Amino acid sequence: MRTELIDDCGLADKNAILTMRVLASYFRRPYITKPAIGGFVHDFGQLPKKDLNWHIIDVRDNEGLLISDEIIQLNPLNNPVEFIVGSNNRSMLTTWLSCTLRDSLNHIFIKAAFNLEELNIILETKIPSEKDDGRFSIDKLFLLSKEEILNLWGENRELEVKRSGGVDLKNCWWTRSTNGILAYCVYGDDMFDKRKNVTFYEVDATTREVGVRLSMWIKLY
């Protein structure tokens, strides 16, 4: 509803409209074009100025793996400010298990972007350490790894790993794969275009210029 229409209402009507908006958000349900690879999930999650939409990129039984259809925010994988604070469980050698982005996505962002009904649809996912050390995390929101991207889109395509010089980082998005203080990101929608190589760019994990495209497993029906 347009703001000018609300402004023309009396106080009681304004309160009623705002209440309806809150209730609509609380009971918001996603619209799934088809519960299969290549399908699309509309209006699942909400930021202050936009609804969140998702590609379905993998399916198992009645569960679907999603990736956001665009970059949701620009954020470092590891926030250097939090290192200054001196948290005991942090290391400048970035991993998904220790990075600050994982914490903020699964404790702050998730509560702000999804209502209770949506949270019940999002599944907990076991994310193994890429160091094969037996460690893992349990997360609802996560980033895809290099290996997952290659399994999903890498068939019959060449793999390249480059330093980030010359690429527009604001059109790149993080993977959860790291190499010491560096992390790997992907440019735009290149992984969907089979005519292009799969290229990963090495970037300092503390840079604020790289975007976040979230992934999650959800119950499709």
Region 96-115: mean pLDDT is 95
pLDDT for position 198: 84
The percentage of the chain sitting over the pLDDT mark of 90, rounded to a whole number, equals 57
pLDDT greater than 60 at residue 3:
no
Would you call 69 helix, strand, or coil by DSSP? coil
pLDDT for position 201: 94
How many C-beta neighbours within 10 Å does residue 145 have?
19
Q: Are 211 and 74 in contact (CB under 8 A)?
A: yes
Sign of dihedral through CA atoms 130, 136, 140, 141? negative
Could you tell me the pTM of the whole model? Answer: 0.82
pLDDT greater than 50 at residue 164:
yes
Q: For residue 67, what are its two tokens?
A: 């990736």
Q: For residue 24, what are its two tokens?
A: 């609509």
How many independent structural domains does the chain possess?
1
pLDDT greater than 70 at residue 89:
no
The answer to whether residue 78 sits within a structural domain is: yes
Domain interval for residue 154: 55-219
The percentage of the chain sitting over the pLDDT mark of 70, rounded to a whole number, equals 81
Q: For residues 200 and 187, give the distance between their C-alpha atoms in angstroms, rounded to a whole number.
A: 8
The answer to whether residue 99 sits within a structural domain is: yes
pLDDT for position 133: 79
DSSP string, 44-68: -SEETTEE--EEEEEEETTEEEEEE
pLDDT greater than 80 at residue 175:
yes
Please report, as a single letter, which amino acid is at residue 107.
H
pLDDT band for position 195 (50/70/90)?
confident
Please report, as a single letter, which amino acid is at residue 173.
W
pLDDT for position 21: 43
pLDDT for position 217: 98
pLDDT for position 221: 81
Tens-place pLDDT, residues 32-79:
888 899 999 999 999 988 899 999 999 999 999 999 999 999 999 998
Q: For residue 219, what are its two tokens?
A: 């119950």
The answer to whether residue 48 sits within a structural domain is: no
Region 74-103: mean pLDDT is 74
Q: Which of 100, 98, 97 is nearest to 109 (CA)?
A: 100
Query: Phi and psi at residue 175, in whole multiples of 5°?
Result: -95, 175
pLDDT for position 7: 42
pLDDT for position 197: 82
The answer to whether residue 135 sits within a structural domain is: yes
Tens-place pLDDT, residues 10-37:
555 545 534 444 444 555 667 888 889 9
Would you call 23 helix, strand, or coil by DSSP? helix
pLDDT band for position 184 (50/70/90)?
very high
The answer to whether residue 17 sits within a structural domain is: no
Q: Which of 41, 36, 163, 51 is nearest to 114 (CA)?
A: 51
Please name the helix (run of DSSP H) or strand (run of DSSP E) that holds residue 46, with its range, or none: strand 46-47
The answer to whether residue 38 sits within a structural domain is: no
The answer to whether residue 108 sits within a structural domain is: yes
The answer to whether residue 196 sits within a structural domain is: yes
